[in-house]
Amino acid sequence: MKVAVLGKTLFSGVMSALLSECGHQVVWCNSFGADESALPYFQDESLQLLLQKQEKSGFLNCCDFQHLDFNQDVFFFSFNATEEQQAFQMLDTIRHACFAHPKLMINASTFGLHGTQRFQQLLPNDDWIYLPDIIQEGNALRSFTQATQLIVGCDHVDIQPKIKELLRPLFPRAQQYLFMPVLDAEFTKLSISGMLATRISYMNDLASVAEKLGIDIEQVRQGMAADNRIGSAYLFPGVGFGGENFSHDIRTLTHAVADSGVKNQLLEQVWDINEQQKELLFRKLWNYFRGDLKGKVIAIWGAAFKENTPSIQQSPVHAMLTALWAQGVTVKLHDPQAIANIEKVYGPREDLILCKDQYQAVEGAHALCLITAWKQYGSPDYPYLIKLMQHPLILDGRNLYDPTYVKTRGFNYIGVGR
């Protein structure tokens, strides 16, 4: 089939790669205007490799929106929440183009409840499907291909064969599809994010209690994970969840709940706990130094909202930087991939030193805060660390280290809920 993928998101990259690999003729429209810069580059190596391979093979072509050929069988739309206006402008252009209807139109953007319906109002004569974005950053291709069941929002039974045919090479069996009305699917997508966020905030809430009671939350976490009704995913206490889409989902869901008039405070609390959690290491520092942080140097390892991504959207690092700077602290920051993004947001400033080397960051520091669990932070050279630091204090925002071991190496250790 001839497929046009519109969007710069990770999902659009994944679909372009996978569909062209299956033999579909894919044109990936990933720049919206002629003035826009180069193609999106994903830090996901396997995805990047596959995209390059497909481009070479000729099954995948990239273009900007002005050069998009509207003679396609399928349109796949995957926009960020912030691109809503552009998305509607493009749809408006497509509406006025001359081609035969109906086409298969797939909305894969999360524009809240009724998002797909608003698209459909512009192009009412086409067959509309909602395919929720389930891509996990850092694990992009497999998070789609290994889904046990694809949730598909589809209001008419006769559209089902079209989407099945498109995805047949990836999902050949009928039971791999879970069809439901579009609105239900949109709500499901948000509810999944809400559930995961709730698990994290629940763990963080328990962690603060555990800390007061002298319990190590890590033991508790392992115990809970061993219960097969619970499982181990999204049970890690830490300095809070982030990520653009995930956070956006929670906000959208919270507003949807509030607008419905139902009195429900759970999601508000989930969000608030998480916002509090983002500052957790700051508060620990504040207590440790009795509110006297002026002039101190604090090292931070990790700026990305999670490992294996350069994204700093909604990352705890922002709350930390703002809080530390407000107290007159100089921050030395290291991250294997996210430094460029940090630079983009904050620009040059005297109280922010960006470091290429993780050990350079701790030089002269009064404390080291670990915010992102990048693998390379897992086993630091402790003797070297203690030599470099002005004061031996490690704040472990992801409970990455063994507290006893760190303490025997001469450090003061503060974790989350332990």
Nearer to another protein (CB atom), residue 230 or residue 326? 326
Q: Taking a C-beta distance cutoff of 8 angstroms, is the pair 273, 204 a contact?
A: yes
Q: Looking at 73-114, which runs of residues are DSSP E strands?
A: 74-77, 104-107
Instruction: Quote the radius of gyration of the chain (alpha carbons, Å).
Output: 24
Q: How far is the CB of 261 from another protein (least distance, A)?
A: 13
Q: Smaller CB distance to another protein: residue 86 or 276?
A: 276
Query: Which two tokens mark 386?
Result: 């203690």
| Contact pattern from residue 362 through residue 391 relative to another protein, giving x for each residue in contact according to CB under 8 A and a dash for the rest | ------------------------------
From the list 195, 209, 326, 340, which residue makes contact with another protein (rule: CB under 8 A)? 326
283 vs 387 by CB, closer to another protein = 283
Cis amide leading into 336 (omega within 30): no
Instruction: Select 279 or 396, whichever has its Cβ closest to another protein.
Output: 279
d(CA 170, CA 185) in angstroms, rounded, equals 20
Among 104, 117, 55, smallest CA distance to 75 is for 104
Amino acid at 51: L
**Residue from 221, 278, 284, 334 in contact with another protein (CB under 8 A):** 284
Contact between residue 128 and residue 115 where contact means Cβ atoms under 8 Å apart: no
What letter does residue 322 receive in the DSSP assignment?
A: H
Least distance in Å: CB of 285 to another protein? 8
- Shortest CB 290 distance to another protein, Å: 5
| Nearest distance, CB of residue 318 and another protein, angstroms | 12
**Rounded (5°) CA angle 199-200-204:** 120
Distances in whole angstroms, Cα of residue 163 to Cα of each of 78, 118, 150, 220: 16, 20, 11, 44
Tell whether residue 282 is a contact of another protein (CB under 8 A): yes
| DSSP tally for the chain: helices H, then strands E | 16, 14
Residue 267 touches another protein, criterion: CB under 8 A: no
With contacts defined by CB under 8 A, how many residues of the chain interact with another protein? Answer: 14
Please report, for residues 26, 94, 167, 397, the alpha-carbon distance to residue 71 in angstroms, rounded to integers and kept in the order given.
Answer: 12, 11, 20, 51
State the nearest-atom distance from the C-beta of 210 to another protein, in Å: 17
| Among 126, 218, 249, 279, interactor with another protein by CB under 8 A | 279
Tell me: does residue 268 bind another protein (CB under 8 A): no
| Bridge partner residues of 369 (DSSP) | 300, 395
Any contact of residue 283 with another protein (CB under 8 A)?
A: yes
- Tell me, what DSSP letter sits at residue 135? P
Stretch that binds another protein, among 119-127, 166-174, 283-291, 404-412 (CB under 8 A): 283-291
Closer by beta carbon to another protein, 36 or else 268: 268
Q: How far is the CB of 394 from another protein (least distance, A)?
A: 18
Of residues 112, 215, 205, 129, the one with CA closest to residue 167: 129
In the bound state with another protein, the residue whose beta carbon lies nearer, of 322 and 408, is: 322
The site map against another protein for 285-324 (x = CB under 8 A) is xxx--xxx-----------------------------xx-
Query: Least distance in Å: CB of 287 to another protein?
Result: 6
Cα separations (Å) of 126 from 94, 99, 120? 12, 11, 8
Q: Find the DSSP H helices in 132-279.
A: 140-145, 160-167, 182-213, 217-226, 244-259, 266-278
Verify binding: residue 181, another protein, rule CB under 8 A: no
Segment lying near another protein (by CB under 8 A), choices 25-33, 123-131, 254-262, 284-292:
284-292
Show the tokens assigned to 214.
């002298």
The binding site for another protein (CB under 8 A) comprises 279, 282-287, 290-292, 322-323, 326-327
